[in-house]
C-alpha cells in the first residue's frame, strides 16, 4: 500500500499483503472470527448436553443476542469518542478471560445454567462492542471507492472462518471434549490482542463536536431516521431477522433432535454453507457493478427466505447443508452490500453511532425470535415453525419491494 497525493492510496493484490499494518489487522480479524465461530457452535452444544431442552437453548440465544440491542448503540458512541483500536483490544481481553471462566467453573464444580447465561451475555456484550468498532474503523484504513473490495475481503475472512471454525469445532468437541474447546477458544483471543497492538491507523478520525452521551445517541438516531434509505432498509432487516433468528438459534437443536446428527455432521453443514457463502462473496462484487445495491439486497433476502423453508423440509445432514447454504449465502451477500452502502453514505464522524443504532434496531427481533421459537418448539414441531416464518419473510419482502423500487429511483436516477 502506497500513500498517494491528498491522503489517498493505491490498493492492489500485491501491496495489500506487503503492508505491515494490514497484515496484522487481517491476522487479528481472522483469529477473532475463527474463535467466535467455534464458540457459537460450542456454547449451544454445551447447553444441549446439560439440559436437552429447546426452551433453555432458546433462552440462551436470548441472553447472547440481547447485547446486540443494548450494547450496540453504546458501543457506537464509544467508537466515535475514543480510540477505536484500544476499544477492540480491551474487548478481546474481556472476551478471552470470560470464555476461560467456563472450564474453570466446571473444574470447581460451580458451572450451572445461570452462570452460563451470565457469561454468555457478557461475552456477547464485549463481542458486540468489538464488531461495531470493527465496522467503524475500516474507513480509517481505506478510501470510499475501495470499500466494496475491502468489505468483501473481510466478509471472505468471516465466511472462511465459518468453514474452518465449524470443522475445527466438530473435530475438537469429539476428540478433546467440550470444556477443553473453551480453553482453546479463550486462549485464541490473546494473539488477537498482540496483532491489534501492532497496527497503526493511516487515517485519523473526523473531528466532532463534543456532546453528552444522550445527545450523541440522539444525533445518531436522528441521522438514521432522516435518511430515508437507511431507515427503510433497517426496518426491512428488523422484520426478516425474525425468521433468521429462529433458524440460527435452533439449528443445533434441529440437527440433533430432528435429524440425530453428530458433531462431525454438523461441522460439515456449517462448512458446506461456508463454501456457498464464499461463492456469494465473489459473486456480489460482479453483480454490484451492474445493478443498484438496494435492489440486490431485496433479491438476496428473498432467496434466503426460500432457504429457511427448505431447511424445514430437510431429511439428513446433506439436505440440511444444501438448504442452509441457500439460506446463508445470500445473507452474506446482503451484509457486504449493506455495510458498504452505509460506509459510503454516512460521514466518518457519526458512522459509529449510525452503525450501533442500525445494529440495535435491525437485530432487535433476534433474541425474541430465538426465545419464542425455543418455547414453541416444546409444543409445535419446529419444522412447521420454520416453514411459517419463511413464508412470512417472503410476504414482508414482497410488501417492501414497491417501496424499495421507489427509493432506488429517487436515489440512483
Provide CATH code, domain 15-202+212-412.
1.20.1250.20
**Confidence (pLDDT) at 204:** 62
**Confidence (pLDDT) at 182:** 92
Whether the pTM exceeds 0.75: the reply is no
**Confidence (pLDDT) at 239:** 74
Q: Which residues have a Cβ under 8 Å from the Cβ of 196 and sit 6 or more positions away?
A: 24, 25, 28, 85, 88, 89, 92
Q: How far apart are CA 79 and CA 85, in angstroms?
A: 9
Helix (H) / strand (E) element for 4: namely: strand 2-4
**Rounded percentage of the chain residues whose pLDDT exceeds 70:** 74
Read off the C-alpha cell for 377.
418448539
**Confidence (pLDDT) at 371:** 72
**Pair 54, 178: CB distance under 8 Å:** no
Give phi and psi for 381, each to the nearest 5. Answer: -60, 130
- Check residues 158 and 32 and name the one with the higher pLDDT: 32
Q: Which of 203-207, 255-259, 315-319, 357-361 has the highest mean pLDDT?
A: 315-319
**Confidence (pLDDT) at 16:** 47
Q: 5 pLDDT band (50/70/90 cuts)? A: very low
Exposure on the CB side of residue 360, measured as CA atoms within 13 A: 21
Read off the C-alpha cell for 391.
413464508
- Check residues 381 and 294 and name the one with the higher pLDDT: 381
**Confidence (pLDDT) at 183:** 92
Q: 411 pLDDT band (50/70/90 cuts)? A: very low
Give phi and psi for 225, each to the nearest 5. Answer: -70, -40
Domain boundaries, the chain: 15-202+212-412
**Pair 366, 65: CB distance under 8 Å:** yes
**Confidence (pLDDT) at 403:** 56
Q: 382 pLDDT band (50/70/90 cuts)? A: confident
Q: How far apart are CA 341 and CA 338, in angstroms?
A: 5
**Confidence (pLDDT) at 330:** 87
- Provide DSSP, 135-154: HHHGGGTS-GGGHHHHHHHH
pLDDT surpasses 80 at 383: yes
Give phi and psi for 86, each to the nearest 5. Answer: -65, -40
Length of the chain: 413
Q: How far apart are CA 23 and CA 44, in angstroms?
A: 33
Q: Which of 29-38, 290-299, 340-349 has the highest mean pLDDT?
A: 29-38
CA-derived radius of gyration, the chain: 21
Helix (H) / strand (E) element for 259: namely: none
**Confidence (pLDDT) at 220:** 65
What residues are paired with 3 via a beta bridge? 9
**Confidence (pLDDT) at 202:** 65
Question: Can you tell me which residue has the cell 417501496?
Answer: 403
Q: How far apart are CA 396 and CA 287, in angstroms?
A: 24
What tens digit of pLDDT does each residue of 224-235 get?
A: 767 777 777 777
What tens digit of pLDDT does each residue of 126-137 get?
A: 988 888 887 777
**Pair 196, 28: CB distance under 8 Å:** yes
- Check residues 190 and 351 and name the one with the higher pLDDT: 190
**Confidence (pLDDT) at 363:** 64
Q: 101 pLDDT band (50/70/90 cuts)? A: very high
- Check residues 91 and 146 and name the one with the higher pLDDT: 91
pLDDT surpasses 50 at 4: no
**Confidence (pLDDT) at 289:** 61
What tens digit of pLDDT does each residue of 33-63 get?
A: 888 888 888 888 888 888 887 778 777 877 7
Q: How far apart are CA 355 and CA 364, in angstroms?
A: 14
Residue 235 burial by Cβ neighbours in a 10 Å radius (0-12, 13-18, 19+): middle
Region label for 199, one of left (φ > 0), alpha (ψ between -120 and 50) or beta (otherwise): beta
Lowest mean pLDDT among 15-24, 225-234, 277-286: 15-24
pLDDT surpasses 60 at 95: yes
Lowest mean pLDDT among 148-157, 245-254, 271-280: 148-157
**Pair 195, 203: CB distance under 8 Å:** no
* pLDDT, the chain, mean: 76
Read off the C-alpha cell for 236.
426491512
Q: How far apart are CA 413 and CA 399, in angstroms?
A: 22
Amino acid at each position: 500500500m502506497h500513500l498517494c497525493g491528498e491522503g489517498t492510496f493505491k490498493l492492489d493484490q500485491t501491496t495489500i499483503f506487503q503492508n505491515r499494518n494490514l497484515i496484522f489487522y487481517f491476522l487479528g480479524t481472522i483469529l477473532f472470527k475463527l474463535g467466535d465461530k467455534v464458540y457459537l457452535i460450542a456454547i449451544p452444544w454445551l447447553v444441549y448436553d446439560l439440559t436437552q431442552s429447546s426452551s433453555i437453548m432458546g433462552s440462551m440465544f436470548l441472553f447472547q443476542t440481547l447485547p446486540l440491542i443494548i450494547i450496540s448503540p453504546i458501543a457506537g458512541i464509544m467508537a466515535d469518542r475514543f480510540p477505536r483500536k484500544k476499544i477492540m483490544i480491551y474487548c478481546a481481553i474481556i472476551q478471552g478471560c470470560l470464555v476461560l471462566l467456563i472450564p474453570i467453573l466446571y473444574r470447581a464444580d460451580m458451572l450451572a445454567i445461570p452462570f452460563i447465561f451470565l457469561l454468555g451475555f457478557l461475552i456477547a456484550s464485549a463481542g458486540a462492542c468489538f464488531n461495531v468498532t470493527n465496522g467503524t474503523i475500516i474507513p480509517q484504513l481505506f478510501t470510499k471507492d475501495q470499500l466494496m473490495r475491502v468489505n468483501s475481503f473481510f466478509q471472505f475472512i468471516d465466511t472462511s472462518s465459518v468453514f474452518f471454525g465449524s470443522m475445527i469445532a466438530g473435530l475438537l468437541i469429539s476428540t478433546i471434549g467440550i470444556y477443553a474447546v473453551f480453553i482453546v477458544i479463550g486462549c485464541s483471543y490473546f494473539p488477537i490482542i498482540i496483532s491489534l497492538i501492532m497496527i497503526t491507523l493511516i487515517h485519523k478520525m473526523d473531528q466532532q463536536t463534543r456532546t453528552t452521551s444522550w445527545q450523541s445517541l440522539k444525533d445518531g438516531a436522528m441521522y438514521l431516521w432522516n435518511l430515508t434509505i437507511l431507515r427503510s432498509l433497517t426496518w426491512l432487516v428488523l422484520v426478516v431477522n425474525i425468521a433468521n433468528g429462529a433458524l440460527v438459534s435452533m439449528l443445533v437443536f434441529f440437527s440433533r433432535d430432528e435429524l440425530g446428527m453428530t458433531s462431525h455432521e454438523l461441522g460439515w453443514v456449517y462448512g458446506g454453507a461456508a463454501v456457498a457463502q464464499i461463492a456469494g462473496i465473489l459473486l456480489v462484487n460482479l453483480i454490484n457493478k451492474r445493478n443498484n445495491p438496494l435492489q440486490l439486497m431485496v433479491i438476496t433476502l428473498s432467496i434466503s427466505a426460500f432457504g429457511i423453508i427448505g431447511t424445514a423440509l430437510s431429511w439428513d445432514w446433506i439436505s440440511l447443508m444444501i438448504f442452509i447454504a441457500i439460506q446463508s449465502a445470500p445473507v452474506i451477500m446482503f451484509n457486504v452490500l449493506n455495510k458498504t452502502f452505509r460506509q459510503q453514505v454516512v460521514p466518518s464522524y457519526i458512522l459509529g453511532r449510525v452503525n450501533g443504532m442500525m445494529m440495535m434496531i435491525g437485530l432487535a427481533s433476534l433474541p425474541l425470535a430465538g426465545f419464542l421459537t425455543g418455547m414453541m418448539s416444546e409444543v409445535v414441531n419446529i419444522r412447521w415453525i420454520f416453514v411459517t416464518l419463511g413464508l412470512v419473510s417472503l410476504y414482508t419482502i414482497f410488501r417492501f419491494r414497491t417501496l424499495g423500487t421507489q427509493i432506488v429511483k429517487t436515489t440512483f436516477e
